[in-house]
């Protein structure tokens, strides 16, 4: 599906097919009771939201059937092929690579494999108030959000040039040989992702991974994220959009005591209000403040946006690429319709991503030296940028005040590359309204906020009504 020049190298390995769900012979013929929705999967067999009371035996049986189907659907992989061009630069979260030499390919491999890969899991403790012991089939956007936050935490806690020392263990066949020579070697998913217990991954790295564990006490695990989503009218098995996930991540970081000196800011109406960021990071810097300075907190900026109507507006393509070139960018959560992905780079017109649609057994992260291999991926995947769903959330990280000022400047330049009259989002000096997701622009609590560039008018020259906004 990818367009490749004759000199393009081939990568062959276990994982998701390019631009597709985890392969299954029957995936084009899902059961009639498995409704699909935007970026997610149905909340019940009739597509309606289930009652809030305790699930009965019928609900439990339905959940088991859905789980069994999804475990098959997302639990198998077949041989697939990803092609890389040796003559075009490849961008990965601010790093640039030219895959025409083994040293450069090895550098790319180390950086790619070191990103945290968070996927569907099965057989974890029951999600409170539900029958779910897996997020398989419905939690893909939550997993993408976890990966976005994990990248921000990697930048917050580890050196800028950090790579996972044991990354080589994920590659049974030398990746550099396949990429540079163009010779593909067949490799199945079990061999590609076999756990190697007892391998050290570094204290901070291991502790960071444990925060995303699949148990109720993990601060950024699915259990905690689902619980925090309840205040927005969401529950286990519901659809989650990139905007609502941004607010869930904000709440999770604000709630935990495990992460220090870090705040999360979610943009309102496609606008980053600088004064609000300062208020989060060091309120003593505000004019007239009497609070003592405790130093500037690092900050993760999350910006929910919509890059078109029903499909991606091509005018924003260069802007998306330029954002992914920035070192301060920690990725984009979005994907394509009904299929959430975590975008981390691009080459030519292809986006590079990590795919959460792979169902793995739960790992007990409370044990010493738990295996880390299933939290890292050695299979790069790409999809054409034109297939990107317009609803997404873009993430950035700034370690200190100087970095934040630099971020505002560099991102503003990247936003100017859009051919569209209205930028994706803007930075302003003032202060926004003091509301959370639930009160945003009068949107009911069970619906995410609209995301449309501020000041954009309809053809009649008037601000659009609520019905004219596109909801996630």
CA–CA distances in Å: residue 22 to residues 30, 62, 70, 364? 13, 22, 10, 24
Contact 141, 125 (CB under 8 A): no
| Sequence-separated (6 or more) residues with CB below 8 Å from residue 375 | 116, 117, 118, 209, 212, 363
DSSP helix/strand/coil, 381? strand
Pick the closest to residue 66 from 124, 140, 135, 123 (CA basis). Answer: 135
The catalytic residue among 18, 135, 214, 355 is: 355
Whether the Cβ atoms of residue 172 and residue 12 lie closer than 8 Å to each other: no
Q: Pick the catalytic residue from 357, 377, 408, 450.
A: 357
Query: Does the active-site annotation cover 355?
Result: yes
Of 382, 312, 307, 396, residue with least CA distance to 347: 382
Specify whether 46 is catalytic. no
As a three-state string, the secondary structure of 432-471 is CCCCCHHHHHHCCCCCCCCCCCCCCCCCCCCCCCHHHCCC
> CA distances (Å), 46 to each of 32, 176, 360, in order?
9, 48, 28
Q: Is the dihedral of CA 218, 143, 47, 76 positive or negative?
A: negative
User: Which candidate in 135, 136, 140, 408 is catalytic?
Assistant: 140
140 catalytic? Reply is yes
What are the tokens at 79?
Answer: 């041989």
- The Cα 77–Cα 321 span in angstroms is 29
Helix, strand and coil percent figures for the chain, each rounded to 5 = 30, 15, 50
Where does residue 20 rank: exposed (0-12), middle (13-18), buried (19+ CB within 10 A)?
A: middle
Q: Angle between the 242-255 and 222-229 helix axes, to the nearest 10 degrees?
A: 110
d(CA 75, CA 396): 32
Angle, in degrees to the nearest 10, between helices 242-255 and 140-157: 50
For the annotated catalytic residues, the residue numbers are 140, 355, 357
């Amino acid at each position: 599906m990818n367009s490749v020049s004759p000199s393009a190298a081939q990568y062959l390995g276990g994982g998701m097919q390019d631009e597709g769900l985890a392969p299954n012979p029957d995936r084009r013929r899902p059961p009639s009771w498995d409704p699909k929705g935007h970026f997610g999967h149905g909340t019940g067999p009739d597509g309606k939201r289930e009652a809030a009371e305790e699930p009965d035996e019928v609900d439990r049986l339905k959940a088991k059937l859905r789980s069994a189907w999804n475990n098959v659907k997302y639990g198998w992989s077949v041989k697939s092929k990803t092609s890389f061009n040796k003559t075009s630069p490849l961008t990965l979260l601010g790093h640039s690579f030219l895959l025409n030499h083994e040293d450069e390919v090895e550098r790319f491999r180390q950086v790619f494999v070191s990103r945290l890969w968070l996927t569907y899991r099965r057989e974890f403790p029951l999600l409170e108030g539900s029958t779910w012991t897996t997020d398989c089939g419905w939690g893909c956007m939550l997993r993408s959000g976890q990966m976005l936050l994990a990248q921000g935490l990697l930048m917050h806690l580890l050196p800028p040039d950090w790579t996972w020392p044991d990354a080589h263990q994920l590659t049974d066949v030398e990746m550099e040989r396949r990429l540079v020579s163009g010779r593909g070697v067949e490799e199945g998913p079990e061999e590609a992702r076999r756990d190697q217990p007892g391998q050290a991954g570094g204290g901070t790295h291991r502790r960071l991974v444990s925060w995303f564990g699949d148990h109720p006490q993990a601060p950024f695990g699915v259990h905690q994220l689902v619980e925090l989503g309840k205040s927005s009218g969401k529950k286990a098995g519901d659809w989650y959009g990139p905007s609502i996930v941004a607010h869930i991540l904000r709440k999770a970081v604000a709630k935990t005591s495990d992460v220090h000196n870090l705040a999360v800011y979610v943009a309102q109406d496609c606008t980053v209000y600088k004064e609000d960021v300062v208020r989060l990071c060091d309120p003593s810097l505000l004019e007239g403040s009497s609070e003592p300075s405790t130093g500037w907190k690092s900050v993760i900026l999350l910006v929910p946006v919509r890059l078109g109507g029903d499909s991606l507006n091509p005018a924003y393509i260069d802007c998306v690429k330029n954002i992914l070139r920035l070192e301060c960018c920690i990725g984009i959560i979005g994907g394509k319709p009904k299929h959430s992905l975590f975008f981390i780079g691009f080459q030519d017109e292809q986006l590079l991503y990590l795919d959460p649609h792979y169902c793995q057994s739960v790992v007990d992260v409370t044990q010493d030296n738990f295996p880390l291999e299933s939290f890292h991926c050695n299979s790069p995947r790409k999809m054409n940028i034109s297939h990107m769903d317009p609803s997404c959330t873009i993430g950035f990280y700034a370690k200190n005040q100087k970095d934040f000022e630099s971020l505002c400047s560099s991102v503003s330049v990247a936003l100017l590359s859009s051919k569209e009259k209205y930028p994706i989002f803007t930075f302003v000096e003032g202060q926004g309204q003091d509301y959370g997701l639930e009160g945003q622009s009068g949107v009911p609590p069970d619906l995410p906020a609209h995301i449309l560039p501020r000041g954009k008018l309809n053809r009649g020259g008037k601000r659009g009504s609520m019905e004219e906004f596109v909801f996630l």
